[in-house]
Amino acid sequence: MKAFFITGMVAFFSLFSEAVSAQDAPAGTKNLYIDVHQLTPGKVTYEAVAGAHAKDLAVENKYNVQFLKYWVDEQKGLVYCLSSAADSSGIRKTHAEAHGLLPDHIYLVTDGAAAALKDQKDLFLDIHYLGAGKVTAKDVAAAHQKDLAVQDKYGVNFINYWVNEKEGTVLCLSQAKDSSAIINTHRLAHGLVPDAVMKVKQGE
């Protein structure tokens, strides 16, 4: 796979910060990061990403990184990697040595309490762009509880969420029959409809 910016996806990510280093965790700590790879739409396979992930795992300890999970949107050519690391440079170095596929974006995030997968329904990542400085992890935790209170009405199972407070961006992982079920759950729970919903395959 050869990474490059997709013209049609530039606007999709424009609300994220380009200053990755400004979002690093304080020195001496290890926090969560999500890094995003924009690859060729329709030409990225889950199997190929699994192979690249295995190479990451082989060298991650060298750079004090632990890759936890990843999600692949084969149709849009997007890969999201969740990791624990001391800083974003360790993630870049790991990817560079492992397979050379550098991420286009890396974001420092906090998460919630993860729920278990319940059934064979499809997995989705939905993204909310709420604006820089306009959301806190506490706000998202409260909204997530509202989602959990009504999710059964639409047959959704929310698994977890990740918050980037600096850019006001929230990513939610859930199981559902389709994207409309997720949108309807968010709308009923708190009215914060996602800006994008992507069907993904998960690996770890």
pLDDT in tens, 62-88: 999 999 999 999 999 999 999 999 999
Q: Is the pLDDT score of 5 beyond 50?
A: no
Whether residues 28 and 73 share a domain: the answer is yes
For the cut 60, the answer to whether the pLDDT of residue 21 exceeds it is no
**Given this model, what pLDDT does residue 122 score?**
95
Same domain, 89 and 159: no
Number of folded domains that form the chain: 2
> Cα–Cα distance between 83 and 34 in angstroms, integer?
6
The pLDDT assigned to 28 comes to 60
Residue 1 counted as domain residue: no
CA distance 190 to 204: 31
Token readout for 77 is 């050519």
Question: pLDDT tens across 30-54, in order?
Answer: 899 999 999 999 999 999 999 999 9
What pLDDT, on the 0 to 100 scale, is given for residue 4? 34
Give domain status of residue 143, yes or no.
yes
Work out the number of other CB atoms within 10 angstroms of the CB of residue 58: 12
pLDDT digits (tens, 9 = 90+) for 165-199: 999 999 999 999 999 999 999 999 999 999 999 99
Q: What are phi and psi of 203, to 5 degrees?
A: -140, 165
> 58: which DSSP letter?
H
What is the per-residue pLDDT across 143-164, written as a single tens digit (0 to 9) for each? Answer: 999 999 999 999 999 999 999 9
Pick from 74, 26, 76: nearest CA to 201: 74
Q: Which candidate, 165, 174, 164, 172, places its Cα nearest to that of 195? A: 172
Cα–Cα dist 178/198, whole Å: 10
**Stated pTM of the model:** 0.84
Last residue of one domain, picked from the residues 46, 80, 109: 109
* Host domain of residue 88: 7-109
Do 68 and 116 sit in the same domain of this protein?
A: no
Work out the average pLDDT over 109-123: 92
Q: Is the dihedral of CA 84, 43, 40, 195 positive or negative?
A: negative
Domain boundary residue, one of 109, 139, 167: 109
Same structural domain, 104 and 129? no
Q: How far is CA 29 from CA 78, 97, 157, in A?
A: 28, 23, 32
Residues 139 and 64 both lie in one domain: no
Asked if residue 2 is part of any domain, the answer here is no
